[in-house]
Structure 1
Amino acid sequence: MKLRTRTGLMSSVVVAVFALSGCVAAVPMDPAPEANSPACAAVTVRLPDKVADQAKRETHAQATGAWGDPAAVLLTCGLAKPGPTTMPCVTINNVDWIEDDSLKPLYTYTTFGRDPAVQIAIDSNTVSGSTALVDLSGAVSTVPVSGQCLSPIDVYSG
């Protein structure tokens, strides 16, 4: 093999290695049943570039979002609206979230009173759940409100 050909081949390999090392693989996710809803499209176009200081990642599923490398925040829009629950409910920036901490350190937050529902999974070892919910509340707040969280006092008084 001539020196010129060998040098050209090595240059191509070096360029390919640098090009591939700059690529971050897309986060594998599955779309929710109602991912094609107009409400989810509104959420998707408003997803921020950073959540809890984690950079946005590409996903291959409609109406999803991911942030961090490895992914520390995952968003899925298009889930069935949850019914009444005894799980804790937190309100952040006028968005009600049902908190599920049964898989600590993974916390799952699902919107309550919005149809379709949006779910966010957060690795609490990497990011703050409240910061992530604040960062995503603007996008999620576009889903129409159809109810709100109530406390036991609201239900049993009166």
Structure 2
Amino acid sequence: MSLRPAALLAVILAGAGLVLTGCAPIVSLDPAADANNPGCAEVSVRLPDTVAGAQKRETDAQATGAWGDPAVVLLRCGVPPIGPTTKPCVNVNGIDWVLMTDPAAKTIVYQTFGRTPATEVVIDHVNGVSDAAVLPEFASAISNIQQTQKCLDTLDTETSTATPGPAPSK
């Protein structure tokens, strides 16, 4: 029994569809408000192929990235920058990151500080991914956006002898 050319083509296309869907599906993300900023294009082309051992996946939104299957790290460039804050800040490989969520949360969100456009990174702690394994991976991509402000940790603000400015807001 032989298949007609149209039926054969349908079987081949269906098989190809199954093979393609067997790969990790596209990660659906919402682009940030300023995702079309040229700085985000610079970040996007420099994103690493792996983060914390997880492979990069395709996303459906401009200036975004996702790693792992299921996705354990997400990135969005073009989020609104934050101003002075009392939230914890850490410098990792020259990039200032503000911890935007409770450090005990299952999903942690960091945002760059002092760079416009700003970038946020979401880390899924449920699947054992650590901040220390993730944040350094983005330094070379994000360093292309000029830093205009540095964040200070609590020790810097408590021991500073400079004239105090306005109180930071949350």
TM-score between the two structures when normalised by the length of structure 2 = 0.82
State the partner residue of 1:114. 115
SS at match of 1:43: helix
In 2: Cα distance, 1:47 partner to 1:108 partner: 18
CA RMSD of aligned residues (A): 2.1
Q: How does 1:40-59 map to 2 (within 5 A)?
A: 40-59=40-59
In 2: Cα distance, 1:70 partner to 1:82 partner: 29
In 2: Cα distance, 1:88 partner to 1:67 partner: 25
Aligned-residue sequence identity (percent) comes to 46
- CA deviation after TM superposition for structure 1 residue 13, in Å: 7.0
In 1: Cα distance, 2:143 partner to 2:9 partner: 53
CA contact (8 A) 1:39 1:144 kept: no
C-alpha offsets along residues 20-73 of structure 1, whole Å, 9 cap, x if unaligned?
343322111111111111111100000011111111111111110000111110
In 2: Cα distance, 1:153 partner to 1:128 partner: 24
From the superposition, tell whether residues 8 and 141 of structure 1 become closer, same or farther in structure 2 (CA, over 3 Å): same
* Gapped regions of structure 1 (runs ≥ 5): none
From the superposition, tell whether residues 17 and 37 of structure 1 become closer, same or farther in structure 2 (CA, over 3 Å): closer
State the partner residue of 2:15. 15
From the superposition, tell whether residues 108 and 9 of structure 1 become closer, same or farther in structure 2 (CA, over 3 Å): same
- CA deviation after TM superposition for structure 1 residue 143, in Å: 1.1
